[in-house]
């Protein structure tokens, strides 16, 4: 069924630090970084006493020496000291640290520069930049070093927005809007994944967060605000027609003066499809061949995804793909 | 104890016996028969759930494999979790409790024998229903806690979730029934002299577990019915568009769900408190502290549930409160660990397969416990929630903290239940394979979680760095499965060829060792008087006083009822004998519930059958009416 | 060497009354049911807390006259049942039969008035979440009243057959306990469903 090779963008792996592309311990932003600090404190702080206790138990079990006798006066004291007093001290410390770190990472470290509204769908991410007038999907750009406010919502079932190298996760629950934040301290490509089971294609519902220096980010915004160019030649015009006739416009929007009827919102906005590094919620590389294969039958790559297969004669398919490739 | 009296024993045996043949099996109400049924049935579900897991691990052994379709995988992980949590863990521990508790407190059966039988039938129907649905391809597929809206009518239109709700409801009824029985039996039928501060620690654990079930299961009952109503008659409890809230499900489910894991853990801790003193050949140190710790665990466990919802956007202040309670609940567990440590330290260990499993349990519980402390912190949890780190955590605490004590219990009480010893050598092989396999299977999952692998994914992409650890996990799963297989082989071989066990093969301290292996249908010919916490160590059999409860020429199903605090003898109660009505009542309830999915007329029909069965069940025998 | 004595039954057999196992069983059944009602009430206030308007726009706050009258009827039914409960311990069969039947009659009136009340609702369980929680809660309670009616019929039948006397009355007691529960739990349900929309 998944006979096709799914190529992960090499970029995602290349920027990985000591961990992999989605590692909690390769933080690239203040949120993930603070959490990583707390994590190390908790890990070391619990492993050491645990190892001591396990050591005592194993020693007591296997030492084979004669012990014996009835209850001794010191027993209660030992049990209370070791089982209650000592753990209580450690745990109170952890509770206090946890409270401090949690309160700290729950709020943005600096006033957010702007807001991104991310809505979870089965099985893709809708991203709107209300302060910039930009609509896109599955690939979110942010300026390096600036805090971004996230407004997280869900259109159908519960999803969860998670980019481990940048921050902890926050659920997207129908009927609720959760406010969260994100900041990337270094430029790079950060992979995220849906972290709340949402159905058949939960496993491959991923996204890319791309952090860019301010100038590049502004350039990206400027390009994203542009509508799609009208088809420049008959092949592309044919492709635009196929897009409508084959029913793609029922689900996918394309912004542009030549496509006033392409306003579907069931699937991702495709206005700048060509500029994205990956397709299908960061699952397959964005190449003509893979795009074509995906359009023909998405279920080869992602069985259960809501997009149906598209049966088209080869020439119409060629035109369609050519048109889609112009949506940069 | 008085000398054996064969004619009296024979009369008692015939009065307390279960009927012959298949009909006798259907009508049995004896607590040991019911307990064994629970144990065997639950073990079958353990194997089924384990097979599901093996297939899941095959699917995840490498990236983008096609052993299962996405839909198939989603059914498998839902069935795996539901089976292990609802059809294995709680029923197994209940079964052990139903079998042992009357023996440990020196009585002949539980307070409501027919209710006991009813509970088992309801459980069996629940499990069979779920698996029949699975075999027909309509298993639930939203995870063992099935969050709406995904599990609601809009996104799960097929019947899988309905079968799941039915199973849940029946399991709850079975658990509630068993709990009420346990509480009343322990309160009313203890041996004379067994005041509450002399109660075996396993019985303390069962008692607290039973109270927890009484308070924790009703929210689950309600919320699962609410889901059913949303799906079947169009209510909007979880539909945000009409004023409902998906988070209502999460709150009510976890108000049950968190105590549930302690409902599973407490009896396991109780089992360990029975095995450690016998293995160390000395009484349990810190008995009072341990009893208090058990009660504290029961209470505290109700104050943790929000930690399952840290990522839902709740106020941080509230989450920090639950985090603090979550950290503090470590303390009663730590108290018990230290009590065991002191007992072992002051004693002299005689190593057996049972105790080896206890040692394994201690290591695994501590490891699982520290990851529990970690995820109790909201910030930490915001990274690892819904990842394989959590999967690692709860498998360490549940497999380590419950399955290992269950295996230890089976090694320890197998002689009592069957009259044969379970093989020691196979037991050690089984232990090592299971223990090592568990680590190989679950330890890498901590790392996978840190590397960003979410839960409930049917596959993962190559190049994320998850391949090696997933493959390792899969190998560990098969090693662990081999360990369980060896255990099964051991059971069969020992049943056929095992060494015969006497009444007390381990030199035990509590009353179950004072009767034969297996016990006669009436457990004890006379009710023993208890003078301390370790009756068999406090006095020899020759020294022990007892009460006769029956006219020796005409014994009936008599049990002694004692007072609540001090267990002073109070009066004699008559218990009912075998009857078919509990089975009919369970069948009626099944018709009503399952019928709601087929045709609504079946609901009143089932209710009628159940009502008639209950009336017939409770209708007094003819001789109690005036002539 | 003398053996320890085997004591014999100087004890009474078959005691009735509070503290008996069946009575305890009923106490726990009542506890479990109370927890279900508590979860329903919790759901009600949780949904209310998340709603912009409660009851939602288009639904009026509930009428109070009929439910309040019905509350008194239900609470009144406790009196004859308590009379039966007391009476059975002294072998007063008139108290048992008359008391239970009077109580049942009051329950029937309660049920009839409930049906009238339900008919007057212009929303149902599928209208919105408010409808869902209100109908489920009141329906659950009404089902309990119906069950109390059925259970007491069985107890009544046993009484007509002469089963109960001063030495055997546990069934009447257990049934009365369930009755007190059904009446008593109505109070927080009433306060939640009918009064809280006006007051909170």
| The pair of three-digit structure tokens given for residue B160, joined into one six-digit string | 């899988």
Percentages of chain B per state (helix, strand, coil), in multiples of 5: 70, 5, 30
Could you give the CA distance from residue B141 to residue B161 in angstroms, rounded to a whole number?
7
pLDDT tens for residues B418-461? 999 999 999 999 999 999 999 999 999 999 999 999 999 999 99
Chain B partners of A61 at a C-beta cutoff of 8 Å? 344, 349, 351, 359
Inside any domain, residue A58 = no
Inside any domain, residue A50 = no
Could you give the CA distance from residue B275 to residue B371 in angstroms, rounded to a whole number?
26
Question: In this model, does residue B409 exceed pLDDT 60?
Answer: yes
Q: Which pLDDT value is given to residue B626?
A: 83
Inside any domain, residue A53 = no
Instruction: Name the closest residue on chain B to residue A42, using Cα atoms.
Output: B374
Q: How far does B283 lie from chain A, in Å, by closest CA?
A: 7
Could you give the CA distance from residue C36 to residue C44 in angstroms, rounded to a whole number?
12
- Whether residues A152 and A128 fall in one domain: yes
Instruction: Name the closest residue on chain C to residue B550, using Cα atoms.
Output: C9
How many domains does chain C divide into? Answer: 1
Inside any domain, residue A277 = yes
Q: Which pLDDT value is given to residue C1?
A: 43
Inside any domain, residue C55 = no
For an interface test with B, give the residue of C130, C132, C141 to mutate (most B CBs within 10 A).
C132
Could you give the CA distance from residue C104 to residue A143 in angstroms, rounded to a whole number?
74
- Whether residues A269 and A313 fall in one domain: yes
Chain B partners of C14 at a C-beta cutoff of 8 Å? 571-574
Candidates C9, C43, C126; nearest CB to B233 = C126
The 3-state secondary structure of chain A reads CCCCCCCCCHHHHHCCCCCCCCCCCCCCCHHHHHHHHHHHHHHHHHHHHHHHHHHHHHHHHHCCCCCCCCCCCHHHHHHHHHHHHHHHHHHHHHHHHHHHHHHHHHCCCCCCCEEEEEEEECCEEEEEECCCCEEEECEEEEECCCCEEEEEEECCCCEEECCCCCCCCEEECCCCCEEEEECCCCCEEEEEECCCCCCCCCCCCEEEEEEECHHHHHHHHHHHHCCCCCCCCHHHHHHHHHHHHCCHHHCCECCCCCCCCCECCCCCCCCCHHHCCEECCCCEECCHHHHHHHHHCHHHCCCCCCCCCCCCCHHHHHHHHHHHHCCC
Contacting partners of chain A (3+ CB pairs under 8 A): B
Write out the H or E segment, with its range, that includes residue C7.
Answer: strand C6-7
Inside any domain, residue A276 = yes
Inside any domain, residue C56 = no
Inside any domain, residue C118 = yes
Contacting partners of chain C (3+ CB pairs under 8 A): B
Question: In this model, does residue A67 exceed pLDDT 60?
Answer: no
Q: Which pLDDT value is given to residue B600?
A: 83
**Cβ contact, residue pair C11, B574, below 8 Å:** no
- Whether residues A308 and A258 fall in one domain: yes
Instruction: Name the closest residue on chain C to residue B622, using Cα atoms.
Output: C163
> Of A164, A190, A225, which closes a domain?
A225
Give the angle A211-A215-A219 at the CA atoms, nearest 5°.
90
Instruction: Name the closest residue on chain B to residue A96, using Cα atoms.
Output: B324
How many domains does chain A divide into? Answer: 2
* CA neighbours closer than 13 Å in the CB half-sphere of residue B574: 15
pLDDT tens for residues B157-215? 999 999 999 999 999 999 999 999 999 999 999 999 999 999 999 999 999 999 999 99
Chain A partners of B348 at a C-beta cutoff of 8 Å? 65-68
**Cβ contact, residue pair B71, A197, below 8 Å:** no
Buried b (16+ CB within 10 A) or exposed e, B485-495: ebbeebbeebe
Tokens 């020496």 correspond to A65
Q: Hey, which residues does B419 pair with through a beta bridge?
A: none
Structural domain of A284 = 234-325
CA distances from C157 to C26, C152, C164 (A): 20, 8, 10
**Cβ contact, residue pair B618, C154, below 8 Å:** yes
- Whether residues A205 and A270 fall in one domain: no
Instruction: Name the closest residue on chain A to residue B72, using Cα atoms.
Output: A200
Q: How far does C130 lie from chain B, in Å, by closest CA?
A: 7
For an interface test with B, give the residue of A5, A72, A98, A152 to mutate (most B CBs within 10 A).
A98
A57 lies within 8 A of chain B by CB: yes
Write out the H or E segment, with its range, that includes residue B561.
Answer: strand B558-562
Q: How far does B351 lie from chain A, in Å, by closest CA?
A: 9
Q: Are A199 and A306 in contact (CB under 8 A)?
A: no
Could you give the CA distance from residue B342 to residue A231 in angstroms, rounded to a whole number?
82
Q: What is chain A's mean pLDDT, rounded?
A: 90
DSSP C62-112: PP-HHHHHHHHHHHHTHHHHHHHHHHHTTT-HHHHHHHHHHHHHHHHHHHH
Q: What is the ipTM of this complex?
A: 0.94
**Cβ contact, residue pair A70, B324, below 8 Å:** no
A226 lies within 8 A of chain B by CB: no
- Whether residues A126 and A215 fall in one domain: yes
Inside any domain, residue C166 = yes
> Of A190, A207, A225, which closes a domain?
A225
Inside any domain, residue A193 = yes
CA distances from A99 to A30, A107, B322, B390 (A): 17, 13, 11, 20
The whole model's pTM is what? 0.95
Structural domain of C129 = 21-48+65-199
- Whether omega for the bond prior to residue C47 falls within 30 degrees of 0, making it cis, is no
Could you give the CA distance from residue C43 to residue C31 in angstroms, rounded to a whole number?
18
- Return the CATH number at C31: 1.20.120.80
Q: Which pLDDT value is given to residue A3?
A: 35
Q: Which pLDDT value is given to residue B597?
A: 82
Q: Are B203 and B101 in contact (CB under 8 A)?
A: yes
Question: In this model, does residue B509 exceed pLDDT 90?
Answer: yes
Could you give the CA distance from residue B327 to residue B337 in angstroms, rounded to a whole number?
16
Tokens 């909170």 correspond to C200
B154 lies within 8 A of chain C by CB: no
Question: In this model, does residue B324 exceed pLDDT 80?
Answer: yes
Q: What is the mean pLDDT of residues B81-105?
A: 97
Phi and psi, residue B387, nearest 5°: -120, 180
Chain B partners of C53 at a C-beta cutoff of 8 Å? none
- Whether residues A245 and A220 fall in one domain: no
Number of Cβ within 10 Å of residue A263's Cβ equals 13
Q: What is the mean pLDDT of residues B541-552?
A: 87
pLDDT tens for residues A88-131? 999 999 999 999 999 999 999 999 999 999 999 999 999 999 99
Is B569 in a helix, a strand, or coil?
Answer: strand
Candidates A20, A38, A53; nearest CB to B377 = A38
**Cβ contact, residue pair B64, A2, below 8 Å:** yes
Q: Are A224 and A116 in contact (CB under 8 A)?
A: no
**Which of A53-67, A107-121, B527-541, C127-141 has the least mean pLDDT?**
A53-67
Question: In this model, does residue B56 exceed pLDDT 60?
Answer: yes
Sorted by sequence, the CB contacts under 8 Å of residue B246 that are 6+ apart come out as A158, A173, A174, A175, B147, B148, B149, B238, B240
Q: Are B100 and B39 in contact (CB under 8 A)?
A: no
Write out the H or E segment, with its range, that includes residue B527.
Answer: strand B527-528
Distance separating the N- and C-terminal Cα atoms of chain A? 31
- Return the CATH number at A203: 2.60.40.420
**Cβ contact, residue pair A168, B66, below 8 Å:** no
- Whether residues A217 and A284 fall in one domain: no
CA distances from A237 to A271, A321, B255 (A): 16, 12, 59
| The pair of three-digit structure tokens given for residue A13, joined into one six-digit string | 């792996």
**Cβ contact, residue pair A156, B337, below 8 Å:** no
The better pLDDT of the pair B376, A17 is held by: B376
The better pLDDT of the pair A5, B309 is held by: B309
**Cβ contact, residue pair B214, C28, below 8 Å:** yes
Q: Which pLDDT value is given to residue B391?
A: 98
Chains B & C: contacts with CB separation below 8 Å: 156
Angle between helices B31-60 and B404-418 (to 10 degrees): 140
- Whether residues A217 and A277 fall in one domain: no
Q: What is the mean pLDDT of residues B516-536?
A: 94
In this prediction, residue B593 has a pLDDT band, given cuts at 50, 70 and 90, of confident
A46 lies within 8 A of chain B by CB: yes
User: What CATH code would you report for B6-511?
Assistant: 1.20.210.10
B548 lies within 8 A of chain C by CB: yes
Question: In this model, does residue A50 exceed pLDDT 70?
Answer: yes
Inside any domain, residue A299 = yes
In this prediction, residue A1 has a pLDDT band, given cuts at 50, 70 and 90, of very low
Could you give the CA distance from residue C62 to residue B45 in angstroms, rounded to a whole number?
49
Angle between helices B113-135 and B581-598 (to 10 degrees): 30
- Whether residues A135 and A153 fall in one domain: yes
A188 lies within 8 A of chain B by CB: no
Inside any domain, residue A118 = yes
**Cβ contact, residue pair B339, A164, below 8 Å:** no
Number of Cβ within 10 Å of residue B111's Cβ equals 28
Candidates C11, C25, C163; nearest CB to B112 = C25
Question: In this model, does residue B464 exceed pLDDT 60?
Answer: yes
Candidates B289, B328, B349; nearest CB to A76 = B289
| Domain parsing of chain B, residue ranges | 6-511, 581-624
Chain C partners of B111 at a C-beta cutoff of 8 Å? 21, 24-25
Integer Rg of chain C from CA = 21
> Of A194, A225, A256, which closes a domain?
A225
| The pair of three-digit structure tokens given for residue B435, joined into one six-digit string | 């223990």
B214 lies within 8 A of chain C by CB: yes
Q: What is the mean pLDDT of residues A158-175?
A: 97
Q: Using CB atoms and an 8 Å cut-off, which of residues 63-122 of chain A contact chain B?
A: 64-72, 75-76, 78-80, 82-84, 87-88, 91-92, 94-95, 97-99, 101-106, 122
pLDDT tens for residues B221-274? 999 999 999 999 999 999 999 999 999 999 999 999 999 999 999 999 999 999
**Cβ contact, residue pair B451, A69, below 8 Å:** no
Q: How far does C166 lie from chain B, in Å, by closest CA?
A: 13
Give the angle B405-B411-B412 at the CA atoms, nearest 5°.
85
Write out the H or E segment, with its range, that includes residue B222.
Answer: helix B201-232
Q: Are B204 and B196 in contact (CB under 8 A)?
A: no
């Amino acid at each position: 069924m998944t006979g096709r090779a799914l190529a992960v963008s090499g970029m995602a792996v290349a920027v990985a630090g000591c961990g992999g592309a989605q590692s909690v311990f390769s933080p690239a932003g203040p949120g993930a970084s603070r959490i990583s600090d707390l994590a190390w404190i908790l890990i070391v702080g619990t492993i050491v006493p645990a190892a001591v206790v396990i050591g005592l138990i194993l020693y007591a079990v296997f030492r084979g020496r004669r012990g014996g006798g009835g209850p001794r006066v010191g027993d209660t004291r030992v049990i209370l000291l070791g089982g209650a007093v000592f753990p209580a001290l450690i745990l109170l410390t952890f509770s206090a640290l946890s409270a401090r770190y949690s309160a700290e990472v729950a709020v943005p470290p600096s006033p957010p520069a702007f807001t991104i509204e991310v809505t979870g769908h089965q099985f893709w991410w809708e991203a709107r930049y209300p302060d910039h007038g930009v609509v896109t999907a599955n690939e979110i750009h942010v300026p390096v070093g600036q805090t971004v406010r996230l407004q997280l919502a869900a259109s159908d079932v519960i999803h969860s927005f998670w980019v481990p190298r940048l921050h902890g996760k926050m659920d997207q629950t129908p009927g609720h809007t959760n406010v969260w934040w994100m900041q990337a301290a270094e430029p790079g490509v950060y992979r995220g994944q849906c972290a709340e089971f949402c159905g058949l294609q939960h496993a491959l519902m991923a996204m890319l967060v791309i952090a860019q220096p301010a100038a590049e980010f502004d350039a990206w915004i400027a390009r994203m605000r542009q509508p799609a160019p009208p088809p420049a030649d008959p092949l592309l015009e044919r492709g635009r027609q196929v897009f409508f006739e084959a029913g793609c416009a029922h689900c996918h929007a394309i912004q542009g003066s030549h496509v006033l009827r392409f306003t579907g919102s069931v699937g991702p906005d495709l206005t700048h499809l060509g500029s994205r590094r990956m397709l299908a919620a960061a699952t397959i590389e964005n190449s003509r061949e893979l795009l074509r294969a995906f359009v023909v039958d998405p279920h080869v790559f992602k069985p259960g995804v809501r997009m149906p297969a598209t049966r088209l004669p080869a020439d119409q398919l060629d035109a369609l793909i050519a048109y889609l490739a112009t949506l940069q | 104890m008085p000398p054996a009296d064969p004619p009296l024993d024979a009369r008692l045996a015939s009065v307390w016996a279960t009927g012959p043949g298949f009909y006798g099996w259907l009508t049995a109400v004896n607590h040991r028969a019911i307990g064994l049924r629970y144990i065997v049935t639950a073990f079958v579900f353990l194997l089924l759930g384990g097979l599901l897991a093996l297939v899941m691990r095959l699917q995840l052994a490498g990236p983008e494999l096609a052993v299962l379709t996405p839909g198939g995988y989603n059914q498998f992980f839902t069935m795996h979790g539901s089976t292990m949590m609802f059809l294995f863990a709680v029923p197994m521990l209940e079964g052990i409790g139903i079998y042992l508790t009357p023996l440990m407190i020196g009585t002949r059966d539980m307070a409501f024998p027919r209710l006991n039988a009813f509970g088992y039938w309801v459980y069996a129907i629940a499990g069979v229903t779920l698996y029949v649905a699975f075999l027909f391809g309509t298993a639930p597929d939203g995870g063992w806690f099935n969050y709406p809206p995904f599990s609601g009518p809009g996104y799960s239109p097929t019947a899988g979730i309905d079968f799941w709700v039915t199973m849940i409801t029946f399991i709850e009824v079975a658990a509630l029934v068993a709990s009420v029985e346990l509480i009343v039996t322990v309160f009313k039928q203890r041996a004379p002299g067994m005041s509450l501060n002399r109660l075996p620690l396993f019985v303390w654990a069962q008692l607290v577990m039973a109270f927890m079930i009484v308070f924790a299961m009703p929210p689950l009952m309600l919320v699962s019915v609410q889901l059913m109503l949303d799906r079947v008659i169009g209510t909007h409890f979880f539909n945000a568009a009409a004023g409902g809230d998906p988070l209502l499900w999460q709150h009510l489910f976890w108000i049950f769900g968190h105590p549930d894991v302690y409902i599973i853990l407490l009896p396991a801790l109780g089992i360990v408190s029975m095995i450690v003193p016998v293995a160390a050949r000395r009484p349990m140190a810190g008995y009072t502290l341990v009893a208090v710790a058990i009660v504290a665990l029961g209470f505290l466990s109700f104050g943790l549930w929000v930690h399952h919802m840290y990522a839902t956007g709740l106020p941080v202040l509230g989450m920090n409160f639950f985090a603090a309670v979550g950290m503090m609940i470590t303390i009663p567990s730590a108290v018990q660990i230290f009590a065991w440590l002191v007992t072992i330290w002051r004693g002299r260990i005689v190593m057996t397969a049972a105790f080896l499993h206890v040692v394994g349990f201690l290591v695994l519980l501590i490891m699982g416990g520290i990851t529990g402390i970690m995820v109790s912190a909201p910030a930490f949890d915001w990274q690892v929630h819904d990842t394989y780190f959590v999967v690692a955590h709860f498998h360490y605490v549940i497999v380590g903290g419950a399955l290992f004590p269950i295996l230890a219990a089976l090694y320890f009480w197998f002689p009592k239940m069957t009259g044969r010893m379970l093989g020691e050598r196979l037991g050690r092989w089984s232990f090592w394979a299971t223990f090592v396999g568990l680590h190989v299977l679950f330890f890498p999952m901590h790392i996978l979680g840190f590397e960003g692998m979410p839960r409930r994914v049917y596959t993962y992409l190559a190049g994320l760095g998850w391949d090696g650890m997933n493959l390792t996990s899969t190998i560990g799963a098969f090693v662990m499965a081999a360990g369980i297989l060896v255990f099964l082989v051991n059971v069969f071989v020992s049943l056929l060829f095992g060494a015969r066990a006497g009444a007390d093969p381990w030199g035990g301290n509590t009353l179950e060792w004072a009767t034969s292996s297996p016990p006669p249908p009436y457990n004890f010919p006379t009710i023993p008087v208890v003078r301390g916490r370790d009756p068999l160590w406090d006095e020899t059999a020759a020294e022990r006083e007892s009460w006769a409860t029956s006219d020796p020429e005409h014994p009936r199903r008599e049990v002694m009822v004692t007072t609540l605090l001090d267990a002073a003898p109070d009066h004699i109660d008559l218990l009912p004998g075998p009857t078919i009505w509990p089975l009919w009542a369970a069948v009626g309830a099944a018709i009503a519930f399952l019928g709601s999915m087929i045709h609504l007329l079946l609901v009143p029909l089932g209710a009628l059958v159940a009502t008639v069965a209950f009336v017939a069940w409770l209708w007094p025998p003819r001789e109690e009416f005036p002539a | 060497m003398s053996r320890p004595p085997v004591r014999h039954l100087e004890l009474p057999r078959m005691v009735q009354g509070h503290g008996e196992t069946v009575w305890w069983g009923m106490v726990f059944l009542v506890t479990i049911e109370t927890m279900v009602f508590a979860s329903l009430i919790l759901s009600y206030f949780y949904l209310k807390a998340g709603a912009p308007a409660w009851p939602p726009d288009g639904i009026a706050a509930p009428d109070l006259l009929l439910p309040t009258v019905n509350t008194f009827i239900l609470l009144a039914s406790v009196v004859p049942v308590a009379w039966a409960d007391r009476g059975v311990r002294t072998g007063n069969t008139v108290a048992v039969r008359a008391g239970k039947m009077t109580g049942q009659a009051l329950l029937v009136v309660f049920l009839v008035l409930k049906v009238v009340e339900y008919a007057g609702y212009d929303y149902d369980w599928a209208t919105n979440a408010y409808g869902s929680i209100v109908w489920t809660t009141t329906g659950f309670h009404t089902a309990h009243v119906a069950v109390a009616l059925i259970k007491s019929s069985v107890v009544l039948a046993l009484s007509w057959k002469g089963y109960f006397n001063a030495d055997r009355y546990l069934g009447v007691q257990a049934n009365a306990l369930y009755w007190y529960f059904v009446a008593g739990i109505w109070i927080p349900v009433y306060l939640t469903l009918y009064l809280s929309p006006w007051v909170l």
